[in-house]
Structure 1
Amino acid sequence: MLIKIEKARTPQDWNVWMNAWCVKFRSYAEALAFVSRLEGRINAPHQLPVSEDRLVLER
């Protein structure tokens, strides 16, 4: 995922782009905090869910 922060058209606003999706923030600090939290969640270790009830079929 491409994540970038850019100045918005209004003087006080900032945009955070995540690929083609954009979120507007009122300050650079808010935008930066959002990106930091988002990147932390993306980079966090994730386990794939495993169902105990799933049948395993073998050939």
Structure 2
Amino acid sequence: MNVMIQPVNTAAGRGWQVRLGKQTVTFRSEPEARQFVMTLQARLNAPHALPAEQQRVAS
């Protein structure tokens, strides 16, 4: 996943934007934006268990 952090000007003043492909999330400060990215990357890299294949019971 392509993740970018960049400064932006918003109606409330200067902010930081995290881009996730076509999606964007805006934060008040660079540390908030970087913490979000670190949390997102940790969750994406975490091991994920696939659901066990459900066995059908013949009637």
Question: Aligning the two structures, in what range does the TM-score lie when normalised by the shorter sequence?
Answer: 0.7 to 0.9
Q: Which residue, 37, 40, 47 being the options, matches 2:39? A: 37
Q: After the TM superposition, which segments of 4 or more aligned residues of structure 1 sit over 3 Å from their partners? A: none
Q: RMSD across aligned C-alpha pairs, in angstroms?
A: 1.9
Unaligned regions of 5+ residues in structure 1, if any?
none
* Shift in Å, 1:49: 0.9
By percentage of residues, which structure has more strand? 2
The percent identity for this pair of structures is 39
- Measure, in 2, the Cα distance between the counterparts of 1:27 and 1:6: 11
Give the match for residue 55 of structure 2: 54
What is the TM-score normalised by the length of structure 2?
A: 0.81
- Measure, in 2, the Cα distance between the counterparts of 1:30 and 1:12: 13
What is the TM-score normalised by the length of structure 1?
A: 0.81
* Shift in Å, 1:29: 0.4
Equivalenced residue count is 55
